[in-house]
Structure formats: C-alpha cells, structure tokens
C-alpha cells in the first residue's frame, strides 16, 4: 500500500514539474500537500515505512520484487529532489508564494525521509539536515511554527547521526575536533530556529533553553554573535508588541549582553543603543515606578553608546513619568543644547514638557530654542507652539500679543512659511470657534479678524470665503446686519457657487423678512445640493452637507414664522434626504404646514397646495417601498410611518370631497400606504372603503366625461379598483359578521355600471350570478335596470329582466308599497311599450296588457297609488287604443280604450277633466267597432 501511495504522489510531482499555469500549480501544490500528509498519518512516521536496506536485500523477497522496490524508491527520491529544486526556482520567479513553497518543501522533505535507508551515506544525511532545517524555517516564516517543530527535530536527529558517522570513520583526536566543528554550525542554526518556533508559540522556557545553548556555542562560533544578538532583539520586539514586558526585557538584555561578548563581531554601537532604548521603553511601560532605575540605567547606557534624539526624548519622558523635580528635568533638557538637534525634535520635547504641566521648564526651553533657531526659516513653528500652549493655559492676552507680533512681522518682511501660516489660521479659527460656541461673538470676531489680517485686499480664496461667512454669522448674532451683509458680499466674491455662501445670504434674508430673496436662496441651495462642489480643496462638500443646511434653513424659517420659506426648504430637503427617519419627519412637517396654509387660503389658490400634498404623500409611499433595504429603518418604524401617512391621506380625501378627482387620488394613496401596515380588520376596512370611494369617483367622472376614450379610461380604472376591492372584501368577510354591510351591493352596482358602459362581454355572466341571489333587494334591481339603459350602455333585455324581478318582489310584500310599485311598473311599461310606436307585436301587447292589469289590481286595492301615475297609466292605455283605432284594429282599440276608461274611474280630482272627452271618443270607437262588425260575413251554419 505504501509503495502505491508513494507512486501516486510521484505522479503528481512529475505533473507539477511540467505545469505552467498558476491556477493549476496552486491546485497541484495543495493536492500534493494533502497526499503527503495522509501518507504520514496512515503509516505513522518515516521510521515505520519500510526503509531501503543498505546492504543485501533479505532473501525472503524474490529478486524481481526487490529490484522493483529499489527502483521505485530511487524514483521517489529523484522526484523529491527535483521538486525541491523546482520550488526554489519558481519561488525566485514569483510563480509560487511563500506558503506554497513551504508546502512543497514539506512534500519533498517527507518523501526524502520515507526513502532514507537504515544506514544512509554521509551525503544523504547532510542533504536531509539541509532540507529539514529549511522546511522548518519555512513554516516559521509564514507563521505556522507548530508545523516546524517536527522537521527541526528530524534535523537535530540527523545532525547526531552525521556526527556519529563522522566519529566512526575518524582517525584520532584531531579528526574528532574537525568533525565536531563541522556539525556545530548546523546545530547552532537548528537551535536558533527552535528558539524562533518556541517564541512564536509562546513557549518562553524552551526558547530560553535553546538560546542559552546557542550562547554557549559562541565561544567556538564567534561570527554568529551578531546573528544571535539580533535574533534576541527581534524576540524582544515581538514580545514588546504583545505587551509581554517581562519577557521583552529579558530578550533585550540578552541581546545587549551577547552584543558585548565579541567586539569584533558585535552589532555596533548604534544597534546596541537601539536595543537599550527599547529595553528602557519596556521597563517604562511595564511599571515605570517599580523599574524606574532600570529604565534610567538602560537609557543612560543607550545615550553613552550612541547619541540619538530618541534617547534624550525617552529620558525626559521617563523623568516626567517618575515625577522628577523641575531641576532634574531641566538638567536633562539642558543636555539637548550641547548637541546638534533638529528643530522638530526640540519642539516635540517642548510639547512633551508643556503637556505634562512643566510650564516653567517648557517655556524656558522654548525661549532657548527660539534664540538658537532665530535665523531658521521654520522659526515661526516655535512661536506657534508657544501660542498654542498659552491658549491651552487660558493665557489669552499673552497669546494675542504673540499673534500681533506675527502680524507685524508679516508686513515687515518676516512672513511665516506657508505650512506654518496655515497652522496659525487653524489656531485662530479654533479659538474663534470656541468663543462662538460660548456665545461671546465679539471675541470670536476678534480672532477671525486676526486671520483676515493675513489676506491681501481683493484676494480670492476658498478659506477667506469661509472666514467671511463665519464672521457674518457672528454679526448676525450681534444684530449688526449691515456688517453681516458686507461679509457675505465678500464671501460671494470669493466663492459665489458655494452652498455655504447661499446659506449665509438666506439667513440675512430671513432676518430681514425678505421672503422672495429667502426662497430664491433656498432654490439655489437646492440646486447646489444636487451636485456637490468639486473645486473646494479644504471645504469639500460631502453628501450630507446639502441636506444638513436645508434642514437648518427650514428650522430657521419656522423659528421666524416664515411658512412659505420653510415649505420651500423642506421640499428641497425631502428630495435629497437619504435617511428614512429624517425624510418622513420632513414630509410630516410639510404636510402640516401646507395643510394649515390651505385652510387659510381662498378656494382659487388651493389647487396648487393640494397637488403639493399629493406629491408629499406619493414620495412617502415611494420611500416606504424603498425602505426595506435600509437596515437602520426597522419594520416597526415602517408600520408606524405608514399608519400616519395613510390616515393623513384618508382625512385629506374626506376634507376635499368637494373636489372628486383630488378626493379619489387621496383615497388611492391612503390605500397604497396601508399596504405597508399589518392586514388587521381595521386596515382591511379602510382599504375596502378607499377602493370603493375611488371607484365611485371614477364612475361619476366617467358619467360626466364627453370624450369616449377618456370615459373608457376612467371606467377601466374603476373596474381595476373594484377587482382589488373584491379580493380584500373576501378576506374581510372572514373576520366577522357583515350581514348589514352594503359592500356586496355597491360592488355589484359599480361593476355592472363599468362593464355595461365598456360593453364588456362578461356582463351577462355577472348578471347570471345576480339572478340566482335569493335576497337581492328591489332597489338594487331598479338601479341595475336604470344603469342598463344609461348611455353609452344599452341593454334593454337586462333592464326588463331586472324590472320584472323587482316587480315580482313588490308583489310578494305583505303590504305593497304603491308608490315604489308604480315607479317600477312605469319604467317597465315605458321599456316594453315605447311612445309613438303603433305596429306592435301581439305578444308584446299582451305582455304590456298584463302589466296594466297588475297596476289596476293594485290601484283597486289601495288608495295610496299616486294619482299622477294612474293618470299616466290611463293615458298610455287610451293612446294605445287610439293608435290601434287609427290602423283599423277596432277590437284591440276597444280593449285598450276600455282599459283606459277603467283607470279613469280611479282618478280623483282629475276625473272631471278627462271624463267627458274620453266618453265621447270611447262611444265613437264602439260605434266604429259595431259598423266594422256589420261588414263581417255571417258564419256558415
């Protein structure tokens, strides 16, 4: 099994050696690493794999098998060496990275170990030592020290094996010394690598033991002194960074001691001083009070080894931390002046002193370095530091004197360098800002004026524009409007396209109650907020600046009771706000402000503001839909906002019911906003009502619309609202008893009207379900009948069927409502017997005759039948008879005229007006009928 696995690994090695593609190289490297690791896990270790014998192969194996095994192992060994060399070459060519090289070394080293015999030759052992050491070191270098230990142990064992082999073949003591020296170099390296691995793994004791053995070997290997000293220094740096100060101080002490062991091979005084400075720092940060003496001793030694500014600085730092007297610190500082130190270093030291409250020493030192660097171009830095610490110590008057000295120098040929001048401006502005925050605006102006002093008249500068704007703000607080205007004019001259400048203009306009100018400034700010300024170097406008300023503008307008200006600012603000909570707050404010404005306006001026509120609510809906992607805006927040805006939209719809189109739009917005709320009963009822109202308005507007295309659009919209409403109504009916709710009837009537006027082919299917309803109301049927004939709809068959059904329901009532019955019958007769038609089918006349008979029965049974309806029935019956008479149908004429005479008998006060005329005509009809009968032939007997 082992041979098969080795052969497979060998195949992967050979494939890798031929490969050029980086991705494939990386994949094969990982595959080889896993395969080599699995061989070791399955077989235990290299020692457990059957080694290649050094002498004759035992006779238990056939000669052919022994030959095959030897050849296979030789091939594996050759592949391993080739892989090693390939990895070195490719790493140099940057084809493989450090980790891949470490993995390939791991594979090569493992394979070589597996091929090693029980008594390998000297060359093989030396190669094994080299490969194991480099493999272990490779793992350490990539931060996987735990993988290095095994290879370093193999290297150590191989060194012992090599030493034993060399001693075995030596002749005398001289040879023994030569052989011992031969292996000690490798032993030193392995021990140092083991120390590195131990430090990396936090095994301090093991690292100390390994370094001590290396240290003991320096007598014989003096050239390694520098290497070991730097190694210990690196250990000190690492443990210092890990804040293991005790270990760090040990390693740094060791580094320093080792460095002194052999001057010839020492690291040099500079490096020794560097070690000591870090050692002093370790003591300082470990516990300055406990290790103060050690820290001072270390830094003193460092300064003796090599004079360096860092050494002096650290010494002062340690003394300050320890609470040394001003005299001791002054003595230490005075050493600075005896050596060449840079100005920046001296300034840092002075700053250190002043930050620790050592003002006498600090200011004396500043005075000394001021004299020393008087001719330096950077001399201004000293004065600036002096000013900063005077201000920090609330010695403002002295600081002002120093600033005024600089201003005088600026105009007498002693200008500060640009960098120092910029720093001075920052100091001046910072002091002015503090006074502004403290509301001591006059003092703020004093410091801003110092800054202005350094600008030449007519100079155009972004910072000068900001300076003038800041001054304008101070003047406004002091109610010095004219000076504020002058400052803003200067700002406009320097930076006319700045949103900050426009904001300053805006503030003055609001203060002067100049509404038009304030609105104009807000509009300019809104435009600038859309595309932030790109030319401001130090005052770059970020994405929030525009919204922040517009928000502040709205606040200022509200504080000054300027609603129109506030509305304009909030409108632009709502267009640019990204934060949902801020946006909804702005929209709420806009709705309230605009609504209060609308209530105070004439109706003629309301339209624009109503449209504005529609826009605000539409934006609220849009942002609620988008808010699902915003993490900070939670679901509960979304629901609360949606409820607020849907209720507002509802109330506005009710409030503007005098304007149907607007009412519809608000109801639809309320519905859309409610879709972001949980679908509880209250919300479902609101949604249903909104859609019903929207559909009702669309139908009403459709009735009034003369253009067919626009009418069709309105009817189609209504139908869409009704379809959605029907779905909601289905869900709502599951939540309780809605027996008295008229929604089903309204949905039916609205849908019937829309479909009938759209000439929808599904209308008859809709009505089939209506005829099957057992509890449909008379009123509903009468409305359906009316709608069926309302232009552009024309469905006489449906109309007649609805009226018949209504009439049947009237008949079924215990006490017939004569008035309602009369109206229904009137409509049915009108539909069945159109006025002016004489050539009627006998069936139609019979059907209509039945209606008249129904009417007569009701009239005979009650006195409540409207007299005008009786008169109308009488007139229609009589006229029908007369029409029949004119076409020679005397029998039919007699019947219908007789029917009219029967209704005449039921007339009240109107009977006398018609009786004489009708009797005369009726007699004429009967006479005509008798004569007509005389011409008829006698019937055969």
Round the average pLDDT of the chain to a whole number and report it.
83
Helix segments in 495-562, DSSP class H: 499-511, 515-530, 545-559
The confidence score (pLDDT) of residue 174 equals: 57
For residues 602 and 556, the answer to whether their CB atoms sit within 8 Å is: no
Which tokens hold the place of 863?
Answer: 């006195």
State the pLDDT confidence band at 647, using cuts at 50, 70 and 90: very high
Local confidence band at 940 (pLDDT 50, 70, 90 cut-offs)? very low
The string of pLDDT tens digits covering residues 29-59 is 888 888 877 775 554 443 333 344 444 434 4
Lowest mean pLDDT among 72-76, 186-190, 226-230, 744-748: 72-76
374 phi and psi angles, rounded to 5 deg: -60, -35
Judged on CB neighbours under 10 Å (0-12, 13-18, 19+), 493 is middle
Are the C-beta atoms of residues 881 and 897 closer than 8 Å to each other? yes
pLDDT, one tens digit per residue, over 843-852 is 888 888 999 9
Stretch among 271-285, 338-352, 891-905 having the lowest mean pLDDT: 338-352
Question: So what's the pLDDT on residue 938?
Answer: 41
Residue 746 has pLDDT above 70, yes or no: yes
Distance CA 684, CA 116 (A): 84
Which residues, including other chains, have CB under 8 Å from residue 260's CB and lie 6 or more apart?
A: 266, 272
The lowest-confidence range among 554-563, 830-839, 870-879 is 830-839
Nearest to 351 by CA among 359, 630, 724: 359
Could you tell me the CA-to-CA distances from 268 to 229, 230, 626 in Å, in that order?
Answer: 11, 11, 68
Cα separation, 281 vs 248, whole angstroms: 10
Whole-number Å distance between alpha carbons of 504 and 472: 7
User: What whole-number distance in Å separates Cα of residue 697 and Cα of residue 472?
Assistant: 55
The predicted pLDDT at position 69 comes to 63
For residue range 780-816, what is the model confidence (pLDDT) as tens digits? 988 998 998 888 989 898 998 898 888 888 888 888 8
Residue 885 reports pLDDT greater than 90:
no
pLDDT tier for residue 533 given thresholds of 50, 70 and 90: low
How much is the pLDDT for 188? 92
* 239 pLDDT tier (thresholds 50, 70, 90): very high
Say yes or no to pLDDT of 326 above 80.
no
- DSSP symbol at 605: G
Q: Tens digit of pLDDT for each residue in 590-617?
A: 889 888 888 777 776 788 888 889 999 9
Whether pLDDT at 859 is above 60? yes
In this predicted structure, the answer to whether residue 939 has a pLDDT above a threshold of 70 is no
Nearest alpha-carbon partner for 348 in 326, 369, 323, 324: 369
pLDDT for 374 equals 67
Residue 161 above 90 pLDDT? no
Cβ 508 vs Cβ 488: under 8 Å: yes
Cα gap 278→299, rounded to integer Å: 9
The pLDDT score that the predictor gives to residue 540 is 46
Question: Is the pLDDT at 508 greater than 80, yes or no?
Answer: yes
Instruction: Give the percent of the chain with pLDDT over 70.
Output: 90
The confidence band for 63, taking pLDDT boundaries of 50, 70 and 90, is: low
Give rounded-to-5 percent helix, strand, coil for the chain: 80, 0, 20
Q: What percent of the chain has pLDDT over 90?
A: 22
* Amino acid 57: pLDDT: 37
**Cα torsion through 185, 186, 188, 192, rounded to 10:** 140
- The answer to whether 248 touches 282, Cβ cutoff 8 Å, is yes
In this prediction, residue 543 carries a pLDDT of 61
Predicted pLDDT of residue 440: 93
- Is the pLDDT at 627 greater than 90? The verdict is no
Q: What is the predicted pLDDT for the residue at 536?
A: 45
pLDDT at residue number 700 = 92
pLDDT at 697 over 90: yes
Reported as a pLDDT band with limits 50, 70 and 90, residue 193 is: very high
User: Worst-scoring range by mean pLDDT, 138-142, 179-183, 299-303, 645-649?
Assistant: 179-183
Determine if residue 679 is left, alpha or beta; phi over 0 gives left, psi from -120 to 50 gives alpha, anything else beta.
Answer: beta
Q: Is the peptide bond before 792 cis (omega within 30 degrees of 0)?
A: yes
Give the position of tokens 């110590």: 393
Selection from 705, 587, 602 nearest residue 649 by Cα: 587
With 70 as the cut, is the pLDDT of residue 838 above it?
Answer: no
Comparison of pLDDT for 356 and 760, the residue scoring more = 760
300: pLDDT strictly greater than 70: yes
For 709, counting Cβ atoms within 10 Å of its Cβ (0-12 exposed, 13-18 middle, 19+ buried), the class is exposed
Query: In this predicted structure, what is the pLDDT of residue 434?
Result: 93
Alpha-carbon torsion 402, 408, 411, 413, what sign?
negative
Residue 751 half-sphere exposure toward CB, CA atoms < 13 A: 22
Give the DSSP H or E segment for 399.
helix 396-410
């Amino acid at each position: 099994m082992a041979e098969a696995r080795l052969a497979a690994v060998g195949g992967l090695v050979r494939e890798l050696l031929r490969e050029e593609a980086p991705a494939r190289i990386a994949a094969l490297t990982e595959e080889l690493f896993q395969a080599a690791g699995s061989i070791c896990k399955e077989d235990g270790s290299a020692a457990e794999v059957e080694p290649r014998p050094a002498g004759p192969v035992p006779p238990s194996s056939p000669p052919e098998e022994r030959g095959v095994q030897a050849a296979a192992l030789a091939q594996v060994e050759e592949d391993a060496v080739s892989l090693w060399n390939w990895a070195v070459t490719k790493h140099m060519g940057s084809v493989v990275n450090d980790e891949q090289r470490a993995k390939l070394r791991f594979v090569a080293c493992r394979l070589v170990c597996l091929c090693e015999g029980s008594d390998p030759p000297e060359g093989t052992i030396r190669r094994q030592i080299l490969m194991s050491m480099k493999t272990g070191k490779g793992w350490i270098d990539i931060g996987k020290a735990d993988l290095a230990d095994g290879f370093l142990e193999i290297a150590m064992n191989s060194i012992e094996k090599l030493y034993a082999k060399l001693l075995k073949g030596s002749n005398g003591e001289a040879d023994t010394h030569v052989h011992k020296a031969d292996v000690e170099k490798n032993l030193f390296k392995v021990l140092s690598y083991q120390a590195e691995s131990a430090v990396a793994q936090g095994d301090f004791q093991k690292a100390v033991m390994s370094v001590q053995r290396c240290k003991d070997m320096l007598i014989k290997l003096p050239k390694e002194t520098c290497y070991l000293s730097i190694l210990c220094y690196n250990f000190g740096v690492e443990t210092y960074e890990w804040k293991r100060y005790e270990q760090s101080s040990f390693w740094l002490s060791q580094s320093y001691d080792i460095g002194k062991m052999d001057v010839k091979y020492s690291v040099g005084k500079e490096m020794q001083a560097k070690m000591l400075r870090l050692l002093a720092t370790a003591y300082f940060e470990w516990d300055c009070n406990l290790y103060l003496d050690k820290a001072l001793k270390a830094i003193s030694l460092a300064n003796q080894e090599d004079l360096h500014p860092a050494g002096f600085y650290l010494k002062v730092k340690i003394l300050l931390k320890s609470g040394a007297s001003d005299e001791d610190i002054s003595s230490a500082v005075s050493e600075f002046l005896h050596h060449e130190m840079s100005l920046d270093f001296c300034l840092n030291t002075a700053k250190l002193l002043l930050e620790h409250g050592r003002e006498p020493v600090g200011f004396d030192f500043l005075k000394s370095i001021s004299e020393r660097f008087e001719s330096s171009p950077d001399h201004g830095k000293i004065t600036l530091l002096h000013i900063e610490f005077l201000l920090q110590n609330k010695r403002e008057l002295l600081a002002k004197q120093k600033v005024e000295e600089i201003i005088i120098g600026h105009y007498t040929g002693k200008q500060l360098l640009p960098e120092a001048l910029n720093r001075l401006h920052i100091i001046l502005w910072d002091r002015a800002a503090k006074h502004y925050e403290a509301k001591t605006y006059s003092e703020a102006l004093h410091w801003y004026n110092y800054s202005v002093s350094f600008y030449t008249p007519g100079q155009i500068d972004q910072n000068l524009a900001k300076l003038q704007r800041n001054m304008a703000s101070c003047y406004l607080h002091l109610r010095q409007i004219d000076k504020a205007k002058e400052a803003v004019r200067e700002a406009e001259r320097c930076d006319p396209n700045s949103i900050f400048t426009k904001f300053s203009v805006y503030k003055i306009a609001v203060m002067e109650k100049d509404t038009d100018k304030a609105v104009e400034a807000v509009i300019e700010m809104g435009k600038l907020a859309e595309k932030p300024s790109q030319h401001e170097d130090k005052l770059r406008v970020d994405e929030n600046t525009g919204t922040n300023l517009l928000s502040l503008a709205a606040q200022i307008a509200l504080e000054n009771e300027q609603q129109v200006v506030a509305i304009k600012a909030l409108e632009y603000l709502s267009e640019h706000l990204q934060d949902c909570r801020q946006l909804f707050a702005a929209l709420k404010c806009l709705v309230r402000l605009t609504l209060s404005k609308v209530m105070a306006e004439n109706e003629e001026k309301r339209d624009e503001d109503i449209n504005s509120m529609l826009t605000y609510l539409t934006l609220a809906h849009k942002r609620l839909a988008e808010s699902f992607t915003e993490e900070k805006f939670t679901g509960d927040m979304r629901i609360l906002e949606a409820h607020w805006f849907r209720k507002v939209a509802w109330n506005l719809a009710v409030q503007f019911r005098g304007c149907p189109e607007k009412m519809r739009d608000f109801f639809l917005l309320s519905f859309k906003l409610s879709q972001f709320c949980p679908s509880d009963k209250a919300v479902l009822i609101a949604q249903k009502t909104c859609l019903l109202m929207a559909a009702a308005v669309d139908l009403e507007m459709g009735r009034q619309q003369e253009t067919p295309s626009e009418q069709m659009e309105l009817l189609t919209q209504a139908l869409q609202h009704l379809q959605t409403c029907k779905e909601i109504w289905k869900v709502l009916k599951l939540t309780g008893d809605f027996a008295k709710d008229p929604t089903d009837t309204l949905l039916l009537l609205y849908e019937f009207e829309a479909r009938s006027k759209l000439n929808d082919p599904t209308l008859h299917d809709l009505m089939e379900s209506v005829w099957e309803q057992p509890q449909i109301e008379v009123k509903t049927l009468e409305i359906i009948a009316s709608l069926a004939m309302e232009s552009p709809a024309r469905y006489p068959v449906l109309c007649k069927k609805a009226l018949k059904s209504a009439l049947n329901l009237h008949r079924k009532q215990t006490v017939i409502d004569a008035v309602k019955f009369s109206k229904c019958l009137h409509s049915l007769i009108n539909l069945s017997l159109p006025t002016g038609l004489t050539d009627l089918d006998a069936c139609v006349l019979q059907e209509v005759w039945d209606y008249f008979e129904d009417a007569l029965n009701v009239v005979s049974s009650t006195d409540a039948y409207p007299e005008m309806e009786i008169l109308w029935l009488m007139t229609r019956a009589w006229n029908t008879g007369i029409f029949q008479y004119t076409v020679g149908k005397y029998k039919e004429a007699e019947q219908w005229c007789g029917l009219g005479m029967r209704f005449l008998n039921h007339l009240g006060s109107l009977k006398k007006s018609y009786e004489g005329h009708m009797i005369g005509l009726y007699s004429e009809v009967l006479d005509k009928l008798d004569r007509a009968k005389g011409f008829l032939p006698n019937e055969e007997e």
